[in-house]
Amino acid sequence: MINYKSNWDRLGIALSVVCMVHCLMLPLAVLALPMIAVQWLHVGAVHTLMAIVLVPVAVLALVPGLRLHRKWGVAGAMAMGLGLLSTAAFAGEGSVAHEWAVPLTIAGGAILVVAHSINLRLCRSCPACAEHGDGH
């Protein structure tokens, strides 16, 4: 039987790390690549796509664990991480959030990695999750 709960958390961690790496590598890409490639890397569509993908993954990972564990702090952390990522992804040109897109994305991704990791750890140590097939 596939363990959807653990897989959603693992996917959420992986996508959040990819998002953070993208933003951390951007300054290096600016120095290393021609201007055309840099523009491709910084296209807002990348941030928008990541935000659109991360939201359902976070919800699918969180809801089953939240029903069993009632750890609202994990839900709050995921909401905060998604909020920071979404703010960076959907900020209008010229806004303060647009200027801070990279730090907001890195912070949001880091918070999501921590929240998914805690959620995964809670499910691994929870007898109710093991009973529902969500514990490993």
pLDDT of 27 > 70? The answer is no
Is pLDDT larger for residue 15 or for residue 98?
A: 15
Q: Comparing 130 with 101, which gets the higher pLDDT?
A: 101
Q: What's the pLDDT band for 75 if we cut at 50, 70, 90?
A: very high
5-9, 22-26, 113-117, range with the lowest pLDDT: 22-26
3-state secondary structure the chain: CCCHHHHHHHHHHHHHHHHHHHHHHHHHHHHHCCHHHHHHHCCHHHHHHHHHHHHHHHHHHHHHHHHHHCCHHHHHHHHHHHHHHHHHHHCCCCCHHHHCHHHHHHHHHHHHHHHHHHHHHHHHCCHHHHHCCCCC
What is the pLDDT, as a whole number, of residue 37? 46
Model pTM above 0.85:
no
pLDDT recorded at residue 81: 93
